[in-house]
Structure 1
Amino acid sequence: MEKYYIPFVIALVATYILTPFVKRFAEKIGAIDVPKDNRRIHKKPIPLMGGLAIYISTVVSMLLFLPMDKTSIAIIAGGTIIVISGIIDDMKSLSPKLKLLAQIVAAIILIWGDIKIEFITNPFASTGMTYLKIFSIPVTIFWVVGITNTLNLIDGLDGLASGVASIAAVSLLFVSSINGFPTVMMMSAILAGAALGFLPHNFNPAKIFMGDTGSLFLGYMLSVIAIEGVMKSVAAIAIAVPVLALGLPIFDTTFAIFRRFLNGRPIMEADKGHLHHRLLDRGFTQKQTVLVLYVISMFLGTIAVLLADIETDKGIIILGVVSVFILLGASRLGLFDIDSLKKINQRKNANN
């Protein structure tokens, strides 16, 4: 594992050094997040586009430490498209349709680079896996687009997305090690370092936000690492491993979709019902909320690593127990109920 420390540290230091320059650039071009609705937690304008530093340090580190083959070129090219769409969105707001188009194009480029989900492991099938065949392309696009957006949706508190991305990348590094994918381990180490290097500038009180430039890029890279380092494994319950490693953004997004659907709200409509909002409503400070979510991410990441190297029967039992706890926790926090926030606010007003 020692050889992965150097790219990790280089990416970390590069992001840390680059971020102040990106901050000044964002201020110069007017990429500023002005709090103009009650969903935003910050009270004063904060520069956006900090993810540009993460992107630069990640790409430079990949050029230094990874072979520039067709796969690496596809990853960088797709990531560049994602970052360009993020920059435009941070500057003047890009329509959801155009952002989705950019993400689909990035996913298609990955498929060109031989990065795709070709089979899904199935412990109940006689062969242990189900080959997707013609469905490989749409499933890959769905995964890349989905994971790219899940991290973007949890980017609601200082330091949350960068910290969660770092934890997920480290988890996937260990899973890739178990599965024997050294190139993916290197990519995971680079991404973990790049995201962690941004955290000192972004932790509460944040001096700069990563914006869509960063959250979309981190989500995109994590989706790639999951495909290359986990989904190409023939482990019996491999499909559960990346879902748990990326558990916090995946589950929070899934609950948001169900919550809005069950309450008759548009699925794409933003709300204050995400997990971090619920914890804030229960009296946690921003820092406390972020730290709690870090712990949850670490727990899920640890379970993912255990599942990658465990007997199938035991893995299924562990997965079942974890799933029950996740559902109970979500129900307890009201993640399915979009109207519970109104009740909380009503109680607060009554007490005041």
Structure 2
Amino acid sequence: MLFGIAGLLLAGAVTLVVTPWVRRQAFRWGAVDRPNARKVHHELMPRLGGLAVYLGFMVAVLATMQPGRAVYGLLLGMTLITLVGALDDIRGLSPRVKLGGQITAALILLPFGIQVFFITNPVSGQILYLGDLGMVITVFWVVAVTNAVNLIDGLDGLAGGVSCIAALTMAVVGWTQWHVFGAAGQQEVIWLALILTGALLGFLRYNFHPARIFLGDSGSMLLGYTLAAMAVMGLTKSVTAVSVVVPMVILGIPLLDTTFAVLRRYHKHRSIFQPDKEHLHHQLLAIGLSHRQAVLVIYAISALLGASAVILNLVATDQAMALLVVLAVIIITAANRVGILGGVVGKTSPKGRHVSGKF
């Protein structure tokens, strides 16, 4: 654990120091975000912040850890996904090219043993080995989370803060699996998660509202990719019945916001790839919250989901299932209330008046 704390502090310090340099380079290289109708900022902003997080993370890992095979695979994949994101920040890439880069980065993980090999049947407790299907599931999971974190990057500090909370939660869950249940292979994930937490804390100094630099695709895709890969490396290795669900709860904000966006657009007969302004952060702004208040509310929800994930990891299977049902009811009710479901199940106005789900 001391190595993880040292890595956290070093990653934070390096990111804090290099971010101003990355900011200057972003302007020099043309990696800037111009305001438009969908965005909430009103001036030219540098992106490419993911490069600062990447540098802080890499320096801390190489300086404080003795990386094994899996960690080297993660670092290689992170390098590719950061490069793809940086090229998009600077030059702009087509969605097809970005998706190809994401899939390639996910495939890099497989030869290094970063793969979902089995799941546990929550009813019988029987371990089900996935064989080649595990490779497909792994690639789908990594690409899905990569894009989900990318989609929530809509307010200053939002994706970075939510990812920081998720990384810290992964460290806590990994620690409980290691010390409480004696699960092997968690140490590397704990240290990696703490190092990512440190890098993000250093970056948030410049990214929290009012931001001086954005994550850009280099950052949002890097964070989604890294969190997804770390979940596979550690949290899914547990034989508990809820081991597959725990990472989904930890990453609940980006995964749910993306899922609701797909449902909302399908319900309105739009392309699921067509952007809109009905994500959670848009709706919180629409009901009158300030930029900073909206971000802090989402932080609080993310922290609540993180605490729920820790509890799921500690309780018996039947209690875990009951907690999941309660969480699902609360989430769907709240999502419908603020309008991010877009009328899929009908919504209620703040005054309690029912509004038709037809648009």
Q: Residue 92 of structure 1: CA displacement?
A: 1.8
| Alignment match, 2:145 | 147
| Alignment match, 2:323 | 318
Letter of the 2:149 counterpart: L
Whole-angstrom CA distance in 2 between matches of 1:142 and 1:179? 25
Q: Identify which range, 232-241 or 271-280, moves more after superposition.
A: 232-241
Aligned: 1:78 with 2:106: no
Identity of aligned residues (%): 42
Whole-angstrom CA distance in 2 between matches of 1:116 and 1:25? 36
Is contact 1:175–1:229 with CA below 8 Å preserved after alignment?
A: no
Q: 2:161 aligns with which of 163, 166, 171?
A: 163
Q: Residue 70 of structure 1: CA displacement?
A: 2.2
Whole-angstrom CA distance in 1 between matches of 2:156 and 2:304? 21
Letter of the 1:90 counterpart: D
Q: Identify which range, 330-339 or 294-303, moves more after superposition.
A: 330-339
Q: Residue 130 of structure 1: CA displacement?
A: 2.3
Q: 2:225 aligns with which of 220, 223, 227?
A: 220
Whole-angstrom CA distance in 1 between matches of 2:207 and 2:103? 29
Is contact 1:152–1:212 with CA below 8 Å preserved after alignment?
A: yes
Is contact 2:336–2:343 with CA below 8 Å preserved after alignment?
A: no
Aligned: 1:308 with 2:307: no
Aligned: 1:62 with 2:61: yes
Is contact 2:125–2:241 with CA below 8 Å preserved after alignment?
A: no
| Alignment match, 2:31 | 31
Is contact 2:88–2:217 with CA below 8 Å preserved after alignment?
A: yes
TM-score, normalised on structure 2? 0.92
| Alignment match, 1:7 | 7
Letter of the 2:69 counterpart: K
| Alignment match, 1:235 | 240
Q: 2:135 aligns with which of 120, 123, 137?
A: 137
| Alignment match, 1:94 | 93
Q: Deviations over 1:267-288 (max 9, x none)?
A: 1111101000000000000000
Whole-angstrom CA distance in 1 between matches of 2:206 and 2:132? 45
Q: Residue 249 of structure 1: CA displacement?
A: 0.6
Whole-angstrom CA distance in 2 between matches of 1:72 and 1:226? 13
Whole-angstrom CA distance in 2 between matches of 1:280 and 1:141? 34
Is contact 1:260–1:338 with CA below 8 Å preserved after alignment?
A: no
Whole-angstrom CA distance in 2 between matches of 1:73 and 1:240? 26
Coordinate RMSD, CA, aligned: 1.7
Q: Residue 338 of structure 1: CA displacement?
A: 7.2
Letter of the 2:305 counterpart: L
SS of aligned partner of 1:308: helix
Whole-angstrom CA distance in 2 between matches of 1:293 and 1:130? 35
| Alignment match, 1:349 | none
Whole-angstrom CA distance in 2 between matches of 1:48 and 1:337? 30
| Unaligned runs of at least 5 residues, structure 2 | 179-185, 351-359
Is contact 2:152–2:158 with CA below 8 Å preserved after alignment?
A: yes
Q: Deviations over 1:97-142 (max 9, x none)?
A: 1111111111111001100011122211351x32211211110000
**Matched residue count:** 341
Whole-angstrom CA distance in 2 between matches of 1:338 and 1:33? 32
SS of aligned partner of 1:156: coil
Q: Deviations over 1:215-235 (max 9, x none)?
A: 100111100111112111111
Whole-angstrom CA distance in 2 between matches of 1:11 and 1:202? 16
Is contact 1:273–1:338 with CA below 8 Å preserved after alignment?
A: no
Is contact 1:256–1:274 with CA below 8 Å preserved after alignment?
A: yes
Whole-angstrom CA distance in 2 between matches of 1:98 and 1:319? 37
Aligned: 1:18 with 2:18: yes
Q: Identify which range, 189-198 or 56-65, moves more after superposition.
A: 56-65
SS of aligned partner of 1:120: strand
SS of aligned partner of 2:132: helix
